[in-house]
């Protein structure tokens, strides 16, 4: 019941006629007036009638919570990133399959209004190259969140994985990491900035500039150069621009996620796409580290 739960999950659930917020759980934060609240997930599962659980905890503790919910026969919605490691997510997928419940690794940025139009527009084009610039102010978006600077917290890849979730959705071919430089503050275990070069099997490159030290205007842009002109996705994927056309539709990321989750539960299937997470893991595996000045929140 932290910031993302209150800002995004609760409004999306409330707006969907097919969903009911049956209970909440948090060891420290209060619940919602009129809704049963429990300090632990185990207590919630023992006392509340629920069909599914949305886990909005930090990724370092996500596996244990998800495994507990799956063992209780509940469908599970995982906030991004889906876990602290790829192995954890693979284990959860196997547990969900054995239990016959749905597991959904959600990527909210894929549900931004411009993403599917971008995917469709690029499908018939020859891609010449692409660039991601994802720069924001960590003090504004993650104030006092110490977990994000710890091992497994991802640092600047917490927002950066949103860009990668879009890139892996719209790019017609699989992307892999060629090189990376990670900038780690002297007093932190996770990077505050990163530069990546990705390529696909044809050798076409997409570069990525991540930085958490941006002040003023925030930048969440992806551009792709093609033989038919340039595609631009800005404002995190909400604004779609190609030659002769610009679209800017309303925010529908989290409502889209919950619709998808409900569809998966109804169909008895799971959706556990780890392509964005795999690229982040590759950056930590292969990237060069550089130490930069200490960061104080």
Q: How far is residue 108's CA from residue 224's CA, in Å, rounded to a whole number?
A: 21
Q: How far is residue 252's CA from residue 255's CA, in Å, rounded to a whole number?
A: 5
Radius of gyration of the chain (CA): 19
Of the residues 3, 74, 80, 125, only one is catalytic, namely 80
Angle at 279 between CA 174 and CA 120, to 5 degrees: 40
Quickly tell me which residue has 């099997």 as its tokens. 201
DSSP conformation class of 213: B
Q: What are the Cα distances from residue 1, in Å, to 28, 37, 54? A: 9, 10, 10
In what helix (H) or strand (E) does residue 140 lie, and over which residues does it extend? Answer: helix 138-141
Which residues are CB-contacts of 261 (< 8 A; sequence separation ≥ 6)?
52, 75, 77, 102, 104, 106
The answer to whether residue 74 is catalytic is: no
Active-site positions read: 80
């Amino acid at each position: 019941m932290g910031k993302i739960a209150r800002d995004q999950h609760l409004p999306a659930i409330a707006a969907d006629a097919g969903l009911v917020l049956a209970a909440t759980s948090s060891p420290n934060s209060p619940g919602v007036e009129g809704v049963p609240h429990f300090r632990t997930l185990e207590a919630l599962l023992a006392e509340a009638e629920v069909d599914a659980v949305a886990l909005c905890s930090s990724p370092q503790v996500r596996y244990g919570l998800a495994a507990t919910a799956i063992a209780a026969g509940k469908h599970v919605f995982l906030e991004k990133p889906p876990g602290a490691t790829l192995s954890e997510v693979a284990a959860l997928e196997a547990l969900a399959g054995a239990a016959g419940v749905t597991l959904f690794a959600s990527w909210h940025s894929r549900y931004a209004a411009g993403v599917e139009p971008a995917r469709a527009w690029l499908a018939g084009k020859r891609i010449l190259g692409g660039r991601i610039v994802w720069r924001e102010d960590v003090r504004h978006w993650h104030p006092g969140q110490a977990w994000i600077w710890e091992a497994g917290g991802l640092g600047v890849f917490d927002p950066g994985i949103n860009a990668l979730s879009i890139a892996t959705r719209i790019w017609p071919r699989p992307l892999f990491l060629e090189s990376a430089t990670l900038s780690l503050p002297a007093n932190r275990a996770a990077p505050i900035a990163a530069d990546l070069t990705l390529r696909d099997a044809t050798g076409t490159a997409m570069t990525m500039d991540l930085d958490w030290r941006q002040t003023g205007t925030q930048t969440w842009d992806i551009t792709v150069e093609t033989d038919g002109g340039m595609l631009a996705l800005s404002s995190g994927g909400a604004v779609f621009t190609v030659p002769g056309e610009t679209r800017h539709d309303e925010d529908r990321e989290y409502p889209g996620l919950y619709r998808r989750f409900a569809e998966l539960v109804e169909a008895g299937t799971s959706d556990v796409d780890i392509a964005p997470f795999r690229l982040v893991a590759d950056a930590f595996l292969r990237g060069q580290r550089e130490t930069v000045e200490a960061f104080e929140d």
